[in-house]
Amino acid sequence: MFTGIFSGGVVKRALDRDVLRIEVHDLRDFTTDKHRQVDDRPFGGLEGMVLKPEPIFRAVEAVRQDGGSKVYLLSPQGRTLDAELARELAAERQIILICGRYEGVDERVAEHLADGEISIGDYVLSGGELAAAVVVDAAARFIPGVVGKEGSVRNDSFCGGILDYPQYTRPREFRGLKVPAVLFSGDHQKVERWRRTKALEKTARQRPDLVKPGALSPEDRKLLEKIPNERTNK
Ligand code: ADE
């Protein structure tokens, strides 16, 4: 599952530049029985299977490095991934992501092994693998030297608390749709002000929950006052 995802984009770049290392481990390699069984029936229930604690504890103990590693269980019950969490994860020496499967994971993993649980959103995936890949991709962007141009992470959506400004490329006109003229003005200040206005406008319209007046400059607040507070996508 991981080979394809990690062989492109930001993660590949981080791997190529030797600023990130990824290991994928199979829980079955940490079983001790003939059938290499990683799951079992739940106590007190009839349906489904639950991942057993022993292979998970053993796997984490085997791969954990001395001197600082953080262990997270991917689960819909966790702290929701956002740019702040991605940045925190990128600063760790080693993170161990435990991918849940089947109906659940023995609770002793979350309670006594993991430092925390991470969710990538309020929906249930069939396993933690896709979620782990999302976490790695989002965190890799914050490893110094991974994202090409200085400042491009800083300008990303959510960095600085608001969404990204709109981008355009050639042609200047496509099916009658024109690129805003300000972008050809050559006036950097004007372009910056336009971008900031558009970013604020988009955030106010589409994600008003992100707009925290305390975090905005007086100029931003002035720009925002002119923007109607409406949601276009709900
Ligand atoms: N495993 C199943 N659903 C998940 C989610 N939403 N986030 C993280 N891990 C999960």
For residue 50, the Cα-to-chain-centroid distance in whole angstroms is 26
53 is catalytic: no
Question: Which residue's CA lies nearest to atom 2 of ligand 1?
Answer: 125
pLDDT beyond 60 at 187: yes
* Cα(96)–Cα(94) distance, integer angstroms: 7
pTM higher than 0.75, yes or no? yes
Q: Which atom of ligand 1 lies closest to the CA of 121?
A: 6
* Ligand 1 midpoint to CA 119 (Å): 5
What is the identity of the amino acid at 213? P
Q: Quick check: 164 pLDDT over 70? A: yes
- Regarding the beta carbon of 100 and ligand 1, being less than 6 Å apart is answered yes
Residues 170-185, mean pLDDT to the nearest whole number: 98
Determine how β-strand 70-80 pairs with β-strand 95-99: parallel
107 is catalytic: no
2-140 and 157-229 share one fold: no
Assess whether 213 carries a catalytic annotation.
Answer: no
Q: Is 126 in the pocket of ligand 1 (CB under 6 A)?
A: no
Amino acid at site 50: V
Q: Which of 42, 53, 76, 166 is catalytic?
A: 76
Give the gyration radius of the chain's Cα atoms.
22
Q: What CATH number does domain 2-140 carry, 3.90.1300.10, 2.160.20.10, 3.40.50.300, 3.40.1280.10?
A: 3.40.1280.10
First to last CA, the chain: 34
Task: Grade residue 234 by pLDDT with cuts at 50, 70 and 90.
Answer: very low
CATH architecture, domain defined by 157-229: Orthogonal Bundle (1.10)
Task: Choose the catalytic residue: 13, 106, 141, 201.
Answer: 141
Which residues are CB-contacts of 216 (< 8 A; sequence separation ≥ 6)?
A: 224
Q: Which of 156, 164, 205, 220 is catalytic?
A: 156
Q: Is the pLDDT of residue 196 over 90?
A: yes
Using most ligand atoms within 8 A of CB, pick from 119, 122, 129, 130 the residue to mutate for ligand 1: 119
* pLDDT tens digits for range 101-140: 868 999 999 999 999 999 999 999 999 999 999 999 999 9
Whether 33 is a known active-site residue: answer no
Mean pLDDT of the chain: 92
- Quick one: pLDDT at residue 77? 94
Cβ of 197 closer than 6 Å to ligand 1, yes or no, is no
Q: How far is the CA of 160 from the centre of ligand 1 (A)?
A: 26
The ranges assigned to domains in the chain are 2-140, 157-229
**Higher-scoring residue by pLDDT: 118, 68:** 118
User: Can you tell me the mean pLDDT for 11-19?
Assistant: 96
- How high is the pLDDT of residue 103? 80
